[in-house]
Each structure stands twice: as C-alpha cells, then as structure tokens.
Structure 1
Amino acid sequence: MTQNTQIQWNTSGEDLIKLYKADLTGKVALVTGSNSGIGLETARVLALAGAKVIIPCRTLEKAHTAIKTIKRIIPQAELIPLQLDLSDLSSIKSFANAFLELNLPLDLLVNNAGVMGGPKFFTKDGFEMQFGVNHMGHFYLTQLLKNKLKESAPGSRVVCLSSSANYHFLTKEGLDFSNLNSERYYTPMKSYGQAKLANILFAKELQRQFSAEGVDIAVTSVHPGAVESNLGRHLDLFSAWDFIRCTRGLLTLLKEIVGFKYVNVGASTTIFCCVSPDIKKGEFYADNAINRSVLNEQSENKEMAKQLWDISERLLVDKLLESIEDSNPISRNSKAELLTTGTK
C-alpha cells in the first residue's frame, strides 16, 4: 500500500484520525506515561477516535488529573485511571493484575513513558534508571500483557517509543552488553542511547516472535522528534556537555532540534502506528513514515536483539526470585512463566 499523500511530517495526530476516518469504538488502548507530553496527547487523540483508554501513572492523583484534562475537551471519553511505576517491578506486576481483572481486551499497547539524562541513579530493583524504566520496565509490562494482546488479535498493535538517540549517541557497534546497566561507566547520553536502541531491538524481536507463532499483531518503534515535553527534566550541565561530546552527528542532531515540534505533531507518528492500515510490522517510524536516517546500524541485528531479550528475561527472573520468601520456594522455570502470564 502507498501512504496517503496528504500525510506529511507535520501532520498532527488529530488530523491523522480524520484522514483515516479512524473509528476505535470498542477498542481498548493502554498508554504509559499518559499524564503529560506525548503520552497525554496520544491518550487524548485515541479517546477522540472512540477508544477506551487506560491511563496509567505513577500516582492515581496524576492519572485523575490527566483524565480531567482530557474530559475538558472530550466529555464523552472513556478513561480508566490505574497506578503504574515503571521503575518498580512490584508496581508493574500489581498494575498488570489490576488491568487483567478488568477483563478487557488490549488492542493497543503504547509503551510511551521514559526518562532521559541526568545523574546516575537507580530504580527500586537496582537497574540504572534510563535502562530500567525505558527498557526493562516496558519489557516486563509487555511480557505480563502478552497473552492478553494475543487474545485480542487479530489486529492488536504494540508501539514502542524510541528516539534518534539510538543513532546519535551510540557507535555503529550498537549495544555494549558489558555496560547495559552502566556497570563499568556512566554517561547520561550513551545510557539513553542504549535504552532507545534496546526499545527498537525489543520491538523487532517481539515482532519476530509473534510472526513465528502466526499471531497477527503489529509491533513498531517510533522516533517522535524533538518535542516539547518534560522528558529532559533531569538534564544538568554534565548532561548537556555529554550531549555535545557523545553526538556522532552534531549538525544532524541540531537540525532536528531546530525542527522542534509541538506536542500535537510530536504524538502523530505514534498515532500513525496505532491507526494506519499502511504500517509494516517490525519497522521503525519517524515523521509518519518508515525511517532509516536515524537508525543505528545494528537495528536489524537479529542476534543482538535475541541476546538483549535473553539477558533482559534473565535479569527480570533474578530480580523477581530475590523477592520470593524462603518459605515459598519456586523454580526458575516456573518464575519465568510468570513473565508472560501476569498471574499472582
């Protein structure tokens, strides 16, 4: 299929649903980080198209505030607040259980939330924050909801928010598996770049697995562009210097920053991947089209993607096993199964 010629890099998400005449009535969407920025706009536009939208935030107060914001514009919007802290594995598990207890389908999973830059600090479970939230948190969440996505197929979609940082702040060698969790050294932008390449590799491996199982689910990854948001709230002078020092194409990156997008346009590529009939499974998108210009050379490396998947799964199992009391022993294999069932 050829893309609608009316769709340009600066077409807003709301205009996209009008151009596609998208009707998501009866569909359920889940957008992480939907309390602000791109996530809030994504939730709003999906609700405008008729979807019931799950609003997961770190606190219920933030979720209710987001819902009030959306309902001021779309009074009829169906929105469900839930608590989710992607820096805490126990919170992710509790959220997944709470969602599954609603007995709803899951047609659209938008892994949108993220953190960028700042000093080195860790999640509750000991992951470097950028790797822990941007990749590990969404990896675990998706695993817990995987069966629900399959039950909701055909036509379910997973959209993973990445960034051009996967290209700009990493070398052509891609992920450094000896420093995934900043074990050897930490620089804010390289860590961010690794997490964003991890998002892409995860999306591609997840797509391969669904396709191998014969399940009709489309998984894509997205670079939204330089967008107004609070993503850079942790940036400091060290991060700014690191930003300049680590960039392999500073002029290209500066050109992107100059092409700053307001949030209604910044969310459009996410919406495109949610509603367009023209998307290709497993691809990386930017500016409402497949993109190759800000894609790391290792993005198609199947071995790297599989290695990342296996390491991520092992890290999760190890962390989850640590939380089990000696009085309630469980085998490693049984615990690994919980990564995809979402059961208590």
Structure 2
Amino acid sequence: MTGKVIIVTGANSGLGYEVARYLCEGGNDVIMACRNEEKANKAIEKIKRTNPNALATYMQLDLASLESVRKFVDDFHETGKKLHVLVNNAGIMFNPKDIKKQYTSDNFEMTMGTNYLGPFLLTNLLLDDLKTTGADGGDSRIVMVTSGVHDPEASKGKRIYRDLQPIDFDNFFLFDDDKYNGLQAYKNSKAAMVMFTYELAKKLEDTGVKINTVCPGNVPSTDLIRNSSGARKFVARVVYHGFLRFTKMTRTIAQGAAAISALATDEKFKEFNGKFFKEGVEVKSSEETLDEEKQKKLWEMSGGYCHMEGFEPIEVPPPPKEEEKVEEEEKKEEEAAAEGEEKAAEDGEKKEEEKKEDEEKKEEVVEEKKEEETKVVEEEKKVEEKEEVKEEKEETVVEKTEEEKKE
C-alpha cells in the first residue's frame, strides 16, 4: 500500500516514530498525531533529513482528553483528506510499584484513558471516513498496538507479572484506589484494546474496513515508561531492560515497527479482520478477551463513558479532592498519634507495674533475709542457753563431789 493517508498516534518517538518513518518511505501521506508539537516537529525534521520528499505533517492530539480527540477529528475533516489507515500506537505505562493514581482531564485513570478510551473514541469518530475509503473494494485498515501483558496466563512464572488479576468489570476502569497498581492498569488497557478489536471487527463486516491488533514484542527502547517516577524509571530502563537485552528476550524498535507497519500496509494482511498478531504471526489472545459477552459489555461501557451517540451515558466518578486527601492523611496521622500516645501510656503503666513488682520482690527478699537472720540469732541463743544449762549441771556435780569428799 503506497500513496495512502495514514494517521499514526504517538509518532514523535519510539515505535510510533519508526512506524511513521517507514510509512513515509513507502510514499504515504503520514499524519503524526502527537501531544507535543515541538517533539513532533523535531521528529518530522529527522525523517526529512534522510527522506526530503517525505509527506509527514503534525496534528495535535492528546488521547488523555476526549475533548482533544474530538477536536483532532474536526481538524482532520477540515483538511479534506481521505483516510486509509489508522494506527493506534500511542500508549503509556506506569511502573508496577506505582500506586499513586494519575487522572485524565475527564477523570479516568491515566493509563486506561490514554491507552484505551482515547483510541476507542478516536476510532469510532473516524469510522465513517474509513468506510468511505473502504467502500467498493478499497483497502481501509485499523491497527491497534497492544501487548502480551494483556494475558495473565502467558505471563505466569514471571515475577514482575505475578500480581496481575483477571478482568473484573466492577473495577475494570480502576476507579477503586485501594486496588491500584501501574502494571494492572496497563494490562487492563491492553486487554481492552484486544476486546475492542474483536467487537468492532464484527460490526465492520462487509464495510471494506478491517481492524486487527498486534503485539510488537518486548521493545524496551520505547518511551512507554516516561510517566513512571524517576528512580523506578531508571530501574526499568537500566536494570530490567538491560537484563532482557542480555537474555535476548527483547526486540529492537525496528523489528517492532516492521510488524506494525506490515499489518498497516502489507498486501498479505489485506483480508485479515479481527485477528491478534504477535511479531507478524497470528496467535491466540487471552481466554478472557475471547469472551463475546465481555466484549459486548466493554463496548457498551466504553461508549457510555465517552458519551457517544447511541450509548447509555455513564457518569465518571470524580477523583478524590486534594482537600479530602489531606483531611484523610491528617486523620490517619492523628489516629496514629493517638495510638502512639495510648501505647506510650500503656507502656508507662506497664513499666510502673513492673517497677512496683520489683520493689515488692526486693522487700520480700529483705524480709526473708531478716527472718533468716532472726532464726540464726534465735538458734545461737538456744545454743548459748544449752551451754549455760550444761555448765550449771557440771558445777552442781562438782559441788556434790566435793561435799561427799568432806563427809
């Protein structure tokens, strides 16, 4: 496929940049849908240094804002261009140990909002454009870039994935703060992308539009973990990713981008629809993503949260206010202080009791010693009395003897 209009989200760095560069080399008109204009323009300049004739343009898109998604679609329509391919590549991931939740402007958890709900709305708003291009035997495609992390079974035995939980629709969008961790959010978002692919594929039959999802492999050089905290980002990039490279468990950006680009433009993938690919090979996704009831439920929930036409709107619960968080923290501190004071008082009472017991024991020892001394004195006195009695008897005997002699 050449000479086509292709939108690539997150195209200013990592996999997205490499995909955009590759597609430009094929003579396609690539729209780089990115949040940061400066970084996007630098990426375009870099592409044009080796390919001066590259058709690469920047359009502003922040997937963490549903308003930005809608504006992007309006801006694209103003260009008057057809749309042949949409590559939903952009994504973020927080470190597994990140438990402090971040929110989108629409109050969704940041990972779910950016990786899934933003692309969900974007894809649906561009469907008519893609259908127009795909009509009458045209070639129109949607590529969803996902990850093998979506499958807990495939991740068994890997320490970093041991806490991943199956799909739980009661907290699928992670509104519950008590059960949050960064990797679970990433897993949920990628599972959602796979399920969305399957559900939309059914609705796109006979429209000329095909949608498939691809895992490019473990590509540690991407900017995926940019939102993690500094120390954790260092550990992920240098230690964990270094180990994966050493054990040859990773793929280069070029390899990952080739898998994505092929699904977007290669003739051999033209007839595939609703399939999951890993590094260019069709494979089976997780069991839970194959559940058609769950696919349908997620579709309805997603449309409701995005307040799309034809869906029952669902209100998004507001995140905890900073004031409430501060009050909760202060309350916890007060409770901890009260517990500390109570414990200190208990410890003080215990020490007083122990001290009193020690003093009583000492007094008992003194009394026992006195009693022993008294006993000794009494024994000595008895001995003396016996000696006196003995002496008196002896004197009496002597006196009698002398008297007898006189007689």
Give TM-score, length-normalised by structure 2: 0.65
C-alpha distance 275-171 of structure 1, shift in aligned 2 (>3 A): farther
**Structure 2 unaligned regions, length at least 5:** 156-160, 237-242, 314-407
CA contact (8 A) 2:244 2:250 kept: no
Is 1:230 the equivalent of 2:223? yes
Is 1:219 the equivalent of 2:193? no
Q: State the SS of the aligned residue for 1:267.
A: helix
C-alpha distance 172-128 of structure 1, shift in aligned 2 (>3 A): closer
Instruction: Map 1:1-344; keep pairs closer than 5 Å.
Output: 23-25=1-3, 27-118=4-95, 119=98, 120-153=101-134, 154-167=138-151, 168=155, 169=161, 174-184=166-176, 185-211=179-205, 214-227=206-219, 228-236=221-229, 258-279=248-269, 280-292=272-284, 295-317=285-307
CA contact (8 A) 2:115 2:190 kept: yes
CA contact (8 A) 1:111 1:138 kept: yes
Q: State the SS of the aligned residue for 1:230.
A: coil
Q: Distance in 1 between matches of 2:305 and 2:11?
A: 27
CA contact (8 A) 2:63 2:118 kept: yes
2:319 is matched with none
Q: Distance in 2 between matches of 1:87 and 1:107?
A: 24
CA contact (8 A) 1:58 1:83 kept: yes
2:223 maps to amino acid: N
CA contact (8 A) 1:63 1:83 kept: no
CA contact (8 A) 2:146 2:193 kept: yes
CA contact (8 A) 1:226 1:256 kept: no
CA contact (8 A) 1:92 1:141 kept: yes
Q: Distance in 1 between matches of 2:150 and 2:232?
A: 16
CA contact (8 A) 1:35 1:66 kept: yes
Once the two structures are TM-superposed, the CA of residue 298 in structure 1 deviates from its matched residue by 1.6
Once the two structures are TM-superposed, the CA of residue 99 in structure 1 deviates from its matched residue by 0.4
The alignment's C-alpha RMSD in Å is 2.6
Q: Distance in 2 between matches of 1:68 and 1:237?
A: 29
Once the two structures are TM-superposed, the CA of residue 32 in structure 1 deviates from its matched residue by 0.0
2:215 maps to amino acid: H
Q: State the SS of the aligned residue for 2:290.
A: coil
2:35 maps to amino acid: R
1:301 maps to amino acid: D
Q: State the SS of the aligned residue for 2:306.
A: helix
CA contact (8 A) 1:170 1:190 kept: no
Once the two structures are TM-superposed, the CA of residue 235 in structure 1 deviates from its matched residue by 3.4
Once the two structures are TM-superposed, the CA of residue 333 in structure 1 deviates from its matched residue by 5.1
Once the two structures are TM-superposed, the CA of residue 140 in structure 1 deviates from its matched residue by 0.8
Q: State the SS of the aligned residue for 1:179.
A: coil
1:285 maps to amino acid: F
CA contact (8 A) 2:10 2:89 kept: yes
Q: State the SS of the aligned residue for 2:87.
A: strand
Once the two structures are TM-superposed, the CA of residue 299 in structure 1 deviates from its matched residue by 2.2
1:193 maps to amino acid: K
C-alpha distance 239-136 of structure 1, shift in aligned 2 (>3 A): farther
C-alpha distance 257-38 of structure 1, shift in aligned 2 (>3 A): farther
C-alpha distance 210-186 of structure 1, shift in aligned 2 (>3 A): same
The structure where helix makes up a greater share of residues is: 2
**Structure 1 unaligned regions, length at least 5:** 1-22, 244-252, 321-331, 337-344
Once the two structures are TM-superposed, the CA of residue 199 in structure 1 deviates from its matched residue by 0.6
Q: State the SS of the aligned residue for 1:233.
A: coil
C-alpha distance 256-89 of structure 1, shift in aligned 2 (>3 A): farther
Larger radius of gyration: 2
Higher relative contact order (CA 8 A, sep 6+): 1
CA contact (8 A) 1:39 1:112 kept: yes
Once the two structures are TM-superposed, the CA of residue 101 in structure 1 deviates from its matched residue by 0.8
1:165 maps to amino acid: V
Q: State the SS of the aligned residue for 1:160.
A: strand
2:358 is matched with none
Q: Which moves more between the two structures, 269-278 or 164-173? A: 164-173
Q: Distance in 2 between matches of 1:111 and 1:191?
A: 18
C-alpha distance 72-258 of structure 1, shift in aligned 2 (>3 A): same
Q: State the SS of the aligned residue for 1:229.
A: coil
